[in-house]
Amino acid sequence: MNPNDTPRAAVFDVDGTLVDTNYLHAVSWWEALHQAGHRVAMTDIHHTVGMSSDRLLDRLLPADRDREQDAALSAAHKTLYATWFDRLPVLDGAPELLRTLAGRGWRVVLATSAQGSELAALRRAIDADPAIHAATSADDVRSGKPAPDAVQQALDQAGTGPERAVFVGDTVWDVQAAGRAGVECVALLSGGIGRAELREAGAVAIYRDPADLLANLDDSPFGRTG
């Protein structure tokens, strides 16, 4: 088969990329940690958003902590974050970007570190389900970002290879996960991570938010992947 006959996959992270939730996660994690007696700076928490919860806690808390409390911390974060489910703010241009790519023949796949209930709330906020070919959550993979599992699962769902895909994310962990899967990563600044950090991680192009990417779609890696 000619490689150009295989589907093209537009793989998207969700939190901070399509929905403006990174700071909501940071606040929810801060409160969960605070309730358990852990003092962690908000900026440190923010820079771990996008990781799976086990990796996030490993990065934020001492190695000699009582790990039996990790599940309770994760559950507290989920409970706190769930209070936002009915008012999650979609980022400008996100639904239109997904619909435009789907209309151009791309298979749009979501690849997120969120779990199933969170993903359902995020999809309701985005309100573009007809454009979404498939979705992968933390429930579907063994290791979360920056491991490549979610991106590789998304490629399998799209029925294509890494050379026919573009990943869009907003964190260093997204860029690293895409790179480990062999997929080019477009990064957005909407998650609050700086341009230099994203570029150093390996992002091939950087845009302000989904609306900016949509406005420049033809000149982006999406326009160059035929």
Q: Report whether pLDDT(173) > 80.
A: yes
pTM of the model: 0.94
Structure-token pair, residue 2: 């000619």
Surface-to-core class of residue 219, CB atoms within 10 Å of its CB (0-12 exposed, 13-18 middle, 19+ buried): exposed
* Residue in 70, 198, 85, 120 with CA at minimum distance from that of residue 110: 120
pLDDT in tens, 73-113: 999 999 999 999 999 999 999 999 999 999 999 999 999 98
Q: What is the pLDDT of residue 4?
A: 66
Reported confidence tier of residue 135, pLDDT bands at 50, 70, 90: very high
Q: What is the pLDDT of residue 35?
A: 97
Cα distances (angstroms) measured from residue 57 to each of 106, 168, 184 = 35, 25, 28
Q: Over pLDDT 70: what percentage of the chain? A: 97
Q: What residues are paired with 110 via a beta bridge?
A: 12, 135
Give the whole-angstrom CA distance, residue 184 versus residue 169.
11
Which pLDDT does position 223 carry in this prediction? 94
Residue range 115-136: average pLDDT?
95
